[in-house]
Structure 1
Amino acid sequence: MTEEDTTNKIGKYFGWIAWILAIGLLVFFFQEILEQQQNPNSSPKSYLSDSGLNEVHLKRNKQGHYLTVGKINQQSVIFLLDTGATDVSIPEHIAEKLNLPRYNSYQVSTANGNTQVYRSKINELNIGDISLYNVEANINPSFNSDEILLGMSALKQLELHQSGKTLILREQK
């Protein structure tokens, strides 16, 4: 093998490495864009209303839903706002990570049919600078999502105003 053949082989290897790195960077870049489209509220911003109350402005995602990052008992979670859900509904695998209390079970009717859930209570729930306390919740063993349904047990404590593709959550007086 000549020196020229060795140089060509090394050049081809570096060419392949450059292509692999370029593709990896493109995947990394576009993955961030796709995640932003799925949850455009990964860092919800809080504002003070004219009356001095905290409010959070949420953008609708590509599917028309409002998702946001929030906290339950100081631990980060993802909420999917659901005005059709009576309570905050937490998948069992997330409730275990959050160490939420689990009380008596009862049956609920969901979009996927009837299922048994367990009562629970959230000491503190945060979205941006909005804090809610002692929020009724349920733990749903048959719900396999990584999102928590933010139902009316939390949303009834807020004022909601939708304008175009933005939903404003505001503390109540």
Structure 2
Amino acid sequence: MARPRAAAVRVQLALWFIVLAGLLAPAAHAQSVALAGMLGSKALLVVNGGAPKSVAPGESHQGVKVVSTAGDQAVLELSGKRHTVRVGDAPVSVGAGGGTGGGAGKGNRIVLTAGTGGHFFTPGQINGRAVQFVVDTGATSIAMSAADAERAGVNYKGGQPVQMSTANGVTQGFRVKLGSVRVGDVEVYDVDAVVMPQGMAHMLLGNSFLTRFQMIRENDQMTLVKRF
């Protein structure tokens, strides 16, 4: 009787590895690129949420070629297609199916690569406006400063007032509901967030967004697979 049971265990393990491979394999084909800035004629690219990299025209970085630059914009070539992007624009995304991120949240997978200090930075959108996130699994919800909320067009003063503890004591913040939050070609809706009056170094991508996904961490890469 032991042999059939051992065989069943081997089959279950094999199926598990197949499922896991299916989750991880497409990550190599999905790509998100944002233009973080310009250094002279070089484009400062953020690929898959990684550390910014300066790339000169004619050169490539992680499969993204800079064709040309002018002012605050650059022409990039991804998967054989050219895209014109400006500094601060939402990221251009090419998914496993070869489509760009122009569709409204049709993807279900986000691939992030750790940057400086092991943090996962990624460009994104709130209600269609470009923002920059840092993943924070210790944050209950998306968190941002009042200045960041205003830049993103969030009407936080119409939200629910809440008392918040900070290093400088107790202060009043606001709890709000974001209509949509997008990272790469994945978009989710009705996401809780808090807005704090004091400045913040980064906008936090917290668990009100992250819990919508299954999280897979492998070395310096994080894959978020949308739950259905």
Regarding TM over 0.5, the answer is: yes
Q: 1:46 to 1:84 in 2, by over 3 A?
A: farther
Letter in 1 for 2:161: S
Q: 1:84 to 1:111 in 2, by over 3 A?
A: farther
Q: How far did 1:159 drift?
A: 1.1
TM superposition outliers: structure 1 runs of 4+ over 6 Å: none
Contact 1:67 1:81 in 2 (8 A): yes
What corresponds to 2:44 in structure 1? Answer: 32
Q: Higher Cα Rg: structure 1 or 2?
A: 1
Q: How far did 1:141 drift?
A: 1.1
- The question of 1:125 aligning with 2:137 is answered no
Deviations 1:37-90 (A, max 9, x none): 6447x6565447xxx962111100021100000111111110111011111001
Give me the TM-score of the superposition, normalised by structure 2: 0.53
Contact 2:122 2:134 in 1 (8 A): yes
Q: 1:46 to 1:56 in 2, by over 3 A?
A: farther
Give the unaligned 5+ runs of structure 2.
Answer: 1-38, 54-90, 98-105
Identity %: 28
2:215 to 139, 160, 171: 160
Which structure: greater strand fraction? 2
What corresponds to 1:150 in structure 2? Answer: 205
Give me the TM-score of the superposition, normalised by structure 1: 0.69
Contact 1:44 1:127 in 2 (8 A): no
Q: How far did 1:170 drift?
A: 1.1
Q: 1:53 to 1:39 in 2, by over 3 A?
A: same
Give the unaligned 5+ runs of structure 1.
Answer: 1-26
Computed over aligned residues only, the root mean square deviation of the Cα atoms, in angstroms, reads 2.9
Q: 1:162 to 1:74 in 2, by over 3 A?
A: same
Higher relative contact order (CA 8 A, sep 6+): 1
Which residues of 2 match residues 58-77 of structure 1 at below 5 A?
58-77=112-131
Q: 1:29 to 1:148 in 2, by over 3 A?
A: same
